[in-house]
């Protein structure tokens, strides 16, 4: 087999839109060009686990980063990432190039350049109406919590990787 010795790391939902909170799943063709470019260049793909599906399941409500910034979610995320960190370390030790980590813009977990925040708590009935709840959501220029943790864990092992949102892929892979 011809090994290009190049790898990318992708958010779970790039390869599996079935895990995305309703109604945000995209048609698989949305990511087809990106995945096809990786495969035709013989670039390997490491798929990150989906922390939201793993911890909250398919029937979860939409969340914001603020709701995930508590010790239980942070610890569980670290535990999900340790096997990935070990893989990355082994690939690098054996001369592979990690071309980047690709997330999903706006995701509270896997956003890279932007994520969503809101001051939410309690039951939906605590708010005037759905618009009151939705108007509290803001996109901010920061990483989602899972990507933030991943980057910190990499840095602890003296590994520096570039992070991109899927929207940024074409100029980075070619």
C-alpha angle with apex 54: 127 to 125, nearest 5 degrees? 10
CA distances from 146 to 71, 76, 115, 173 (A): 13, 10, 11, 23
> CA-CA distance, 105 to 88, in Å (whole number)?
23
Q: What angle do CA 96, 148, 133 make, to 5 degrees?
A: 140
The 8-class DSSP code of residue 70 comes to: S
- The beta strands (E) that lie in 18-174 are given as 44-47, 97-103, 115-117, 138-140, 163-165
The DSSP code sequence of 11-31 is: -HHHH-GGGSPTT-PPPTHHH
Q: Which of 134, 139, 136 is nearest to 116 (CA)?
A: 139
Report the distance separating Cα 87 and Cα 60, nearest Å: 30
pLDDT tens, N- to C-terminus, the chain (174 residues): 578 999 999 999 999 989 988 887 888 788 899 999 999 999 999 999 999 999 999 989 889 999 999 999 999 999 999 999 999 999 999 999 999 999 999 999 999 999 999 987 777 777 777 777 777 789 899 999 999 999 999 999 999 999 999 874 444 433
Is 140 within 8 Å of 120 (Cβ atoms)?
Answer: no
List 47's β-bridge partners, or say none.
10
Q: How far apart are the two ends of the chain, measured CA to CA in Å?
A: 22
């Amino acid at each position: 087999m011809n090994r290009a010795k190049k790898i990318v790391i992708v958010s779970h939902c790039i390869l599996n839109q079935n895990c995305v909170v309703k109604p945000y799943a995209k048609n698989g063709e949305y990511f087809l060009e990106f995945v096809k470019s990786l495969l035709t260049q013989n670039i390997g793909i490491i798929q990150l686990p989906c922390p939201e599906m793993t911890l909250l399941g398919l029937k979860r409500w939409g969340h914001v980063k603020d709701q995930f910034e508590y010790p239980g979610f942070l610890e569980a995320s670290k535990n999900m990432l340790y096997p990935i960190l070990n893989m990355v370390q082994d690939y690098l030790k054996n001369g592979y190039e990690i071309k980047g980590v690709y997330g999903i813009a706006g995701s509270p977990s896997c956003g890279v350049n932007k994520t969503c925040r809101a001051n939410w708590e309690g039951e939906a009935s605590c708010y005037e109406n759905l618009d009151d709840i939705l108007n509290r959501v803001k996109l901010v220029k920061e990483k989602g919590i899972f990507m933030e943790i991943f980057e910190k864990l990499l840095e602890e092992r003296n590994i520096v990787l570039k992070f991109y949102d899927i929207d940024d892929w074409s100029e980075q892979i070619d």
